[in-house]
Structure 1
């Protein structure tokens, strides 16, 4: 069976972009998101999670590699792996920034690595871990709807870190159907396992983020009462009407529909603008800033 030909053709080609320089070894402020400790450490927690998370994604897709004969899907898997490997590399560079602040990054990444790449791999079937992978890939692709909307939610962020997350989101949009196709057409995961994987990820992912964010805030010297106030204010920033997560909400729920496929959603605001800017400069930081400029003009 040809996964891409029998279901939905990918809208965007998977293009690995390698040897990118975001300037993360420069003078990025500790609280790089508008001086806000909660927002900065929320995204820093994501950066800590990504290297072991990308390893998990690639491993879970690789479990079914030998069953696949479709040349287009095999090509897409190769592109998926190359993109995920670059995400790992760049987020490790970003995590070196945390190391320079004295953060025990290795302890935090080992916590995530053990959970995903040891405990989950021992406890759950290969089909179920792929359903979790597909669900997490859904999260990382739909975040582009928040990052690239007209509110410019990252406008207070340092331009270098902002550019890293813009590039990461762009590439997640490009390969968002790969794990799903392997899961559905080769792992033969049915509707209920697919949905349970999303429910599982919907609980595990934020708990993991907030656990690591809490450790970062403890490292920064915030006491329990100060952390509670930061979390209350920050949670409102995440979930309030017009907050960071609102643009993702309707896209999140579509995953529950029977017959859903990631490429049923063909349009991604900001993608073409970023791609045109990057193809012109080959500089991801310039591409991010040009995209923001172009979107502001079209708003």
Structure 2
């Protein structure tokens, strides 16, 4: 058995969490900044369909899993992803109510997912899932290890993203373990999937942000000005994406495993606060308080 698969309780599904998401959330909930808000809105908009794609890609290999701990991890991973889909579907309805083209964007995503599922092998779809899971496992690194990053964000939306980021870290190795110990995906295929996923993620981040800002009524020139003005926030020395670019590249190393990257230093603070209160808002506050 792969010695990385050892703790049967490393993944904790937390279900039916109430974040208090409602119409009182400001349109530009991230420090009253349209661009930052729509980057995050565009990212989360695709989570429900993305989670379904991930579960679909793992499903063909579940019957081949002989290790009981890995089988439990896959089950708990599926439960966590299901809850993420429910919470972000709720948030998507708030975006619809703002007049955002949610259904149009989800339709494009479904077509893209279906293209991958029908044109690529089961192994490559699993490798793509592993690559996308590596990205989401680094969300906490980009947004919650430094206090100033989420300054001014609505506390309810911030709590939603913090919970999602925490659980992505917990199950960060599941798909990789299925990919390496069950599907026997080669290093070349794993690396190719990561390169492809990186290009897709980058392209989609800009496209979805632009679509949402266009729906807000911003002109083409205004949107381009916003994009260039926010490049330091995204890719500067302390940018939210550049802060973990090295960890993305680490995925391409032979012998890499997701557990080579430790969980963020303030992960225990979220866990302890949530176990004590059952409140994702208070848990998020503890996470931020322990940030650098």
Q: Same fold (TM over 0.5)?
A: yes
Provide structure 2 residue ranges, at least 5 long, that are not aligned to the other structure: none
Provide structure 1 residue ranges, at least 5 long, that are not aligned to the other structure: none
Q: C-alpha distance in 2, partners of 1:156/1:241?
A: 21
Q: C-alpha distance in 2, partners of 1:213/1:205?
A: 12
Residue 142 of structure 2, aligned match among 126, 140, 146: 146
Contact 2:232 2:239 in 1 (8 A): yes
Deviation per CA, 1:108-131, whole angstroms, max 9, x where unpaired?
111112101x11001100000111
Contact 1:32 1:158 in 2 (8 A): yes
Give the aligned partner of residue 243 of structure 1: 239
Give the aligned partner of residue 257 of structure 1: 253
> 248-257 vs 218-227, which deviates more?
248-257
Give the aligned partner of residue 88 of structure 2: 91
Q: C-alpha distance in 1, partners of 2:266/2:90?
A: 25
- Counterparts of 1:201-212 in structure 2, within 5 Å, are 201-212=197-208
**Distance change >3 Å, CA 267–CA 46, structure 1 → 2:** closer
Q: C-alpha distance in 1, partners of 2:8/2:228?
A: 39
- Counterparts of 1:1-299 in structure 2, within 5 Å, are 2-3=1-2, 6-7=3-4, 9=6, 13-116=10-113, 118-293=114-289, 295=290, 299=292
Q: C-alpha distance in 2, partners of 1:108/1:187?
A: 32
Alpha-carbon deviation of 1:69?
A: 1.4
> 278-287 vs 141-150, which deviates more?
141-150
Deviation per CA, 1:236-295, whole angstroms, max 9, x where unpaired?
2100111112321221121111111111223422110000010011010111012212x1
Normalised TM-score (structure 2): 0.96
Contact 2:57 2:126 in 1 (8 A): yes
Q: C-alpha distance in 1, partners of 2:95/2:246?
A: 34
Q: C-alpha distance in 2, partners of 1:222/1:148?
A: 29
Task: Tell me the number of residue pairs that the alignment of Structure 1 and Structure 2 aligns.
Answer: 292
Alpha-carbon deviation of 1:235?
A: 2.4
Normalised TM-score (structure 1): 0.94
**Distance change >3 Å, CA 21–CA 163, structure 1 → 2:** same
RMSD: 1.5
